[in-house]
Structure 1
Amino acid sequence: MSHPPEHPAPDALAQRFVQFALDAGVLRFGEFKTKAGRLSPYFFNAGLFDDGAKLGRLAAFYADAILASGIAFDMLFGPAYKGIPLAAAVAVELARRGHNRPFAFNRKEAKDHGEGGTLIGAPLRGRVLIVDDVMSAGTAARESIAIIRGAGATPHAMAIALDRQEMATEVGPDGTVRDVPYSAVQYVQRELGLAVCAIAKLSDLLQYLEHQDDAAMQAHRARVQAYRARYGVG
């Protein structure tokens, strides 16, 4: 019986994406407080893919990951707010590659003039692929699913840039926040029934850092590894 290698070969697409995110200043090291109140040694802010060249390259990474995943879908949906430019850019890139799909997005506040409502773009129908940046607690995923189902379509899958592979949190009846033994991505997969396609995972970031000779990068790797040992899943 063959066994998987102890250190699997790095995913080339994910490694290129990690390098791109670092070069763009989107992925940073330091000390950052997360929504869950944790002190994370790294931060990923997709809002800093903030010019045409960066957004175009990002869309290409999404398209590569989506097409490689084999996920079948009929249209794209971008949840407000970061998902809006992501879904639009990915739709353009997929069309450039011969996979033209309609897309839609929502706004937070309904308009009472013009077209009205909260949905903009193509009518939601068929199997919908939700495009977002990261998932922290799965809240945005649940909101998107409700919107898509409310329109009579099927929430089918999600595409995200980075899977943090860390424990999600939930609020108890008394208002206290506690860790749960699964990640937001695992929750979406297991409980909500959606496939999830991520360009890169935290494990890919660790593999990237493992192959850097720079002393500062090795120090970052030690802190990220310790963070994963404490909060990591998946």
Structure 2
Amino acid sequence: MSTNLSPNASLAEDFVKFSVEAGVLRFGEFKTKAGRLSPYFFNAGLFDDGAKLGRLAEFYARRLVDSGLPFDMLFGPAYKGITLAAAVSVELARLGHNKPYAYNRKEAKDHGEGGTLVGAPVRGRVLIIDDVISAGTSVRESIAMIRAAGAEPCGVAIALDRQEKATENGADVDWSAVQYVRDKLGLEVVAIASLADLMAFLDHAADPALAQFKQPVAAYRARYGV
């Protein structure tokens, strides 16, 4: 099967617009985990009602179908990934691609079915669903759990690729967390949208309240972008 792992520009543009309208993508001054002052912040936890979550799942599902990436099931790392995997599984089924899903607990359960994995048996080609890849830690933990179950991770689907330098031992490096997952961990990464799409959105923003952030975002990318 041929794959189209590059983002769909129209879908990405619609997603950025939806994220801004939903209050999930915000502009201002925000401190990142790396200690940087970012002019924007993406918080997938604010897709917090049925309408927004359903629309989010639609974007993930359409992006995955467009990508052509083959996978047998979804895996949602705790905690945000749990809701994402369930919602995307529902939307994929609606589109005619019924896929099982599983997720992990943070702590092993010693009664009932026990263990840390919940949901469908983890087998075959497993696609990890998350919101962003910040340092790759969650991805590495997911890979270990999937392989321990006898399956093989095949990729990661995320909402936004920040396209910025990762940090290692407190210092900036020349690759992003997404590039690390692709090049070092060997997994495909499918993103609904990227920082480049966010900048394109600001380029065409008619609202002065949004347009004012075009320069700060451009400056941030010039300093930390990959």
CA distance in 1, matches of 2:196, 2:58: 21
What are the superposed Cα offsets for residues 110-156 of structure 1, whole Å, 9 maximum, x if unpaired?
A: 11111111100011100000000001111111111111111110010
In structure 2, the residue matched to 1:222 is 215
Q: CA deviation at 1:170?
A: 1.2
Uncovered stretches (5+) of structure 1, i.e. residues with no partner: 1-9, 172-176
Map residues 58-77 of structure 1 onto 2, 5 A cutoff.
Answer: 58-77=56-75
Partner of 2:13: 15
In the TM superposition, what are the counterparts of 1:72-221 in structure 2 within 5 Å? Answer: 72-171=70-169, 177-221=170-214
CA positional deviation for 1:30: 0.7
2:22 corresponds in structure 1 to 24
**For the residues of structure 1 that align with 2:114 and 2:68, how far apart are their CA atoms?**
35
- Structure 1 moving runs of 4+ over 3 Å: none
Partner-residue secondary structure (3-state), 2:212? helix
TM-score (norm 2): 0.95
1:5 matched residue in structure 2? none
Deviation digits for residues 69-90 of structure 1 (CA, Å, limit 9, x no counterpart): 1100000000000000000000
- SS class of match (2:65): helix
How far off its partner does 1:217 sit? 2.0
| C-alpha separation in 2, matches of 1:63 and 1:181 | 31
Mapped pair 1:49 → 2:42? no
Give structure 2 stretches of 5+ with no counterpart.
1-7
Backbone CA RMSD of aligned residues: 0.9
Q: Find out whether 1:231 has 2:224 as its counterpart.
A: yes
Q: How many residues align?
A: 219
**Normalised TM-score (structure 1):** 0.92
Q: Deviations over 1:185-212 (max 9, x none)?
A: 0000000000000000000000000011
Identity of aligned residues (%): 71
1:20-73 Cα shifts (integer Å, max 9, x gaps): 001110000011111101011000000000001100000000001101111000
196-205 vs 214-223, which moves further: 214-223
Partners of 2:207 and 2:14 in 1: CA distance: 18
Deviations along 1:140-177, one digit per CA (max 9) or x if unpaired, are 11111111111110010010000000001112xxxxx1
